[in-house]
C-alpha cells in the first residue's frame, strides 16, 4: 500500500507541475483546481480496484494536460492583467522524496 501512496503522491505532484505550464491563466487555474478537487474526492477510496481505476484515469488526464500545454504554447496570447509572476512560484516545484513524505510504519 505504501508504494501505491508513493505513486499517487508522485502523480499528484507531476500533474500540478505540468498544469502550471499552461500559458493561459484560466486554463492553468482550472487545471489546478480540478486536480486538487479530484484527488480530494478520491482520498477516501479503500478498494484496490477503484484506486487502480483512479490512477489510470489520472494518468490519462496527465497525458491530456501535457498535450494541451503544447497546444497552448503554439497559440499563446498576451497575459491577463490579473496574472502575476508570483502566482507561478508554487511550493511543489521540487521533486518529492517519497521515503521522507510517506509514513510506512503504519502509525
On whether residue 28 sits in a domain, the answer given is yes
Residue-wise pLDDT tens digits, 19-71? 999 999 899 999 999 999 999 999 999 899 999 999 999 999 999 999 999 99
105/75 Cα distance (integer angstroms): 48
On whether residue 98 sits in a domain, the answer given is no
The runs of H, that is alpha helices, within 20-106 are 25-41, 48-74, 98-101
88/70 Cα distance (integer angstroms): 18
Domain that holds residue 60: 1-11+24-75
On whether residue 42 sits in a domain, the answer given is yes
In the 8-state DSSP scheme, what is residue 90?
-
On whether residue 71 sits in a domain, the answer given is yes
Number of domains in the chain: 1
pTM of the full structure: 0.72
On whether residue 80 sits in a domain, the answer given is no
pLDDT, position 90: 57
Residue-wise pLDDT tens digits, 33-42? 999 999 999 9
pLDDT, position 10: 95
On whether residue 65 sits in a domain, the answer given is yes
Check pLDDT > 60 for residue 12. yes
Residue-wise pLDDT tens digits, 73-105? 898 778 777 776 555 555 555 555 555 444 434
Amino acid at each position: 500500500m505504501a508504494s501505491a501512496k508513493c505513486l499517487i503522491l508522485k502523480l499528484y505532484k507531476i500533474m500540478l507541475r505540468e498544469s502550471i505550464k499552461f500559458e493561459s491563466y484560466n486554463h492553468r487555474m482550472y487545471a489546478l483546481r480540478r486536480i486538487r478537487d479530484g484527488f480530494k474526492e478520491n482520498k477516501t477510496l479503500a478498494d484496490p480496484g477503484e484506486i487502480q481505476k483512479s490512477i489510470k484515469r489520472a494518468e490519462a488526464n496527465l497525458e491530456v494536460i501535457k498535450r494541451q500545454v503544447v497546444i497552448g504554447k503554439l497559440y499563446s496570447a498576451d497575459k491577463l492583467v490579473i496574472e502575476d509572476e508570483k502566482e507561478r512560484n508554487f511550493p511543489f516545484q521540487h521533486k518529492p522524496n517519497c521515503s521522507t513524505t510517506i509514513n510506512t510504519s503504519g502509525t
